[in-house]
Amino acid sequence: AGRDDDIITTAGYRVGPTDVENSVMTHPAVAESAAVGQPDEIRGEVIKSYIVLRDGFEPSDALAEEIRQQVRERLSTHAFPRVIEFVDELPKTPSGKIQRFKLRAQAAEQVRDNS
């Protein structure tokens, strides 16, 4: 999977996942973050962030909204994660690189299951 595969196209904008991830990572509750495009009928894709929390933080809708707002203030309005999922760990290669393709497939599958 090359870097071009990782580009998220949402409502006609091309968004690099690294910008979103780095912005999400500035929140004190966030240990790790990965951003992918999740299929969306209206926008083509919406940005979905998978987030691993630091010890002492609990997943909640309020925390997700706080992270969303923080990213929205730092990046443009089309580049914040509309969907946030808290996870225990991110899929990685043996060298520690996040396997976004696995998260993309998971996000697409969740959309299919919910439709």
Long-range contacts of 30-37 (CB under 8 A, 24+ apart): 30/54, 30/67, 32/89, 32/90, 32/98, 34/90, 34/98, 34/100, 34/103, 35/8, 35/81, 35/100, 36/6, 36/8, 36/100, 36/103, 36/104, 36/107, 37/8, 37/9, 37/10, 37/104, 37/107
CATH classification at residue 85 = 3.30.300.30
Number of domains making up the chain: 1
Q: Which two tokens stand for residue 4?
A: 């071009």
pLDDT digits over 3-57, tens only? 677 999 999 999 999 999 999 999 999 999 999 999 999 999 999 999 999 999 9
Look up the domain containing 98 and give its range. 3-114
Given pLDDT bands bounded at 50, 70 and 90, which one contains residue 1?
A: very low
pTM of the full predicted structure?
0.92
Question: Dihedral sign, CA of 54, 58, 63, 68?
Answer: positive
Joined together, the tokens standing for residue 79 give 């580049």
CA–centroid distance for 12 within its chain: 18
